[in-house]
């Protein structure tokens, strides 16, 4: 076997990952022969396999687009920028075809045997002493041809690998599209269910709002009744005040009458004393007049006592009426205050219940809307 054939045989046993010189190993997943060592570099990096070698060659030729760190799986990259990659596939295939056509032309130029023979003949014509050098150059040309053939074979394999990756990416894109369509259909179903639930909740909230309006109207009617009761109580208190004023006026009149009676009684006493003094000289007539005066004085005293008792009774009646009026006013005021407090509590309870119901409806609507927006997205 020639030296060139041995070199090609040794090259065929090495990993074809760019820059790797380790021997090839079988595919750990299938056990089939592989063109790669299936190991990562000692300093770190991706495992040498078909996908990573393809990306490394693209990066080496400057055709690889910028990628995020850690995205080494071609399927993941295809998912990340599927539409862009699919739109770039025709151009990439065209570039690859042009590249392979150039490689084939280079191989043809490098493996041109006639050109090699021409060079040998020229070398023989130039000098017979350079025959050995010409043979060495011929051997180098043969090795170059072998290397070119190996490169062409590797390029063909790379093309096959690129086609396989393209098929995988296309299948993955179809699967992703089917999954996306299924998710969209499921999202539409969830959206329809959410819309139906939201419509039901909205109808329930409208019913609660209508009931709240009716409750507010009833509360307003009750408040109006309470105000009317308060006005009636105020009018009754005014009448009580007028009655008390009349009693006071009557008491004042009674006091004036009593004072007048006292004045008259005092005048009578003074007249009786005057008569008694005038009748001192006339004893017989004075006794009769004195007896009459005593009788009149007793009657006047009884009248005074009766007037005094009437005044005390009137005062007692007035005090009782005042106490009763005050008690009735306190009872009315307390009842009115309790009615107002109860109405206020009822109104506050209704407002609190309605506010909580409204807040709950708004919260449920707010929670339903972001879920709907998320499903749509």
pLDDT in tens, 22-80: 998 887 767 777 888 888 888 778 888 888 888 888 887 765 454 444 444 555 554 55
Question: What confidence tier does 242 reach under pLDDT thresholds 50, 70, 90?
Answer: confident
Q: Percent of the chain at pLDDT above 90?
A: 0
Most confident of 47-51, 241-245, 299-303: 47-51
Judge contact between 260 and 313, C-beta under 8 A.
Answer: no
Q: What is the mean pLDDT of residues 262-284?
A: 63
3-class secondary structure, 23: strand
> What's the whole-model pTM score?
0.25
DSSP codes, 212-263: HHHHHHHHHHHHHHHHHHHHHHHHHHHHHHHHHHHHHHHHHHHHHHHHHHHH
Distance set, CA 33 to CA 23, 57, 197, 348 (Å): 12, 21, 60, 84
Per-residue confidence (pLDDT) for residue 276, from 0 to 100: 56
Per-residue confidence (pLDDT) for residue 104, from 0 to 100: 73
Helix, strand, coil shares, percent, the chain, to 5: 85, 0, 15
Give the residue with greater pLDDT, 292 vs 40.
Answer: 40
pLDDT by residue (tens digit) across 68-117? 444 445 555 545 556 666 666 677 777 777 877 777 777 776 665 555 55
């Amino acid at each position: 076997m020639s030296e060139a054939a041995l070199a090609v045989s040794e090259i065929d046993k090495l990993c074809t990952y760019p820059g790797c010189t380790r021997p090839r190993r079988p595919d750990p997943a299938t056990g089939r022969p592989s063109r790669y060592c299936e190991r990562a570099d000692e300093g770190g990096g991706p495992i040498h396999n078909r996908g990573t070698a393809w990306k490394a060659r693209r990066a080496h030729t400057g055709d690889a687009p910028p990628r995020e760190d850690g995205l080494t799986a071609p399927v993941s990259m295809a998912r990340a920028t599927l539409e862009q990659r699919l739109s770039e596939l025709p151009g990439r295939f065209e570039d690859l075809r042009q590249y392979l056509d150039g490689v084939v032309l280079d191989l043809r130029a490098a493996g041109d045997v006639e050109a090699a023979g021409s060079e040998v003949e020229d070398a023989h014509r130039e000098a017979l002493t350079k025959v050995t050098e010409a043979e060495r150059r011929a051997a180098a040309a043969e090795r170059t041809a072998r290397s070119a053939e190996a490169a062409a074979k590797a390029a063909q394999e790379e093309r096959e690998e690129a086609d396989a990756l393209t098929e995988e990416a296309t299948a993955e894109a179809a699967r992703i599209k089917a999954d996306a369509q299924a998710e969209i259909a499921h999202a539409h179903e969830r959206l329809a269910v959410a819309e139906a639930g939201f419509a039901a909740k909205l109808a329930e909230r409208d019913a609660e709002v209508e009931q709240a309006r009716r409750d507010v109207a009833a509360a307003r009617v009750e408040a109006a009744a309470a105000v009317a009761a308060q006005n009636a109580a105020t009018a009754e208190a005014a009448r009580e005040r007028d009655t008390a004023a009349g009693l006071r006026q009557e008491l004042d009149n009674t006091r004036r009458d009593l004072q007048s009676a006292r004045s008259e009684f005092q005048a009578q006493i003074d007249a009786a004393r005057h008569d008694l003094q005038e009748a001192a000289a006339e004893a017989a007539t004075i006794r009769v007049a004195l007896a009459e005066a005593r009788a009149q004085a007793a009657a006047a005293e009884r009248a005074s006592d009766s007037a005094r008792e009437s005044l005390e009774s009137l005062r007692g009646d007035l005090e009782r009426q005042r106490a009763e009026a005050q008690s009735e006013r306190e009872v009315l005021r307390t009842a009115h205050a309790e009615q107002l407090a109860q109405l206020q509590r009822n109104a506050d309870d209704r407002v609190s219940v309605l506010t909580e119901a409204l807040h709950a409806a708004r919260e449920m609507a707010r929670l339903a809307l972001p879920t709907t927006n998320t499903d749509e997205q």
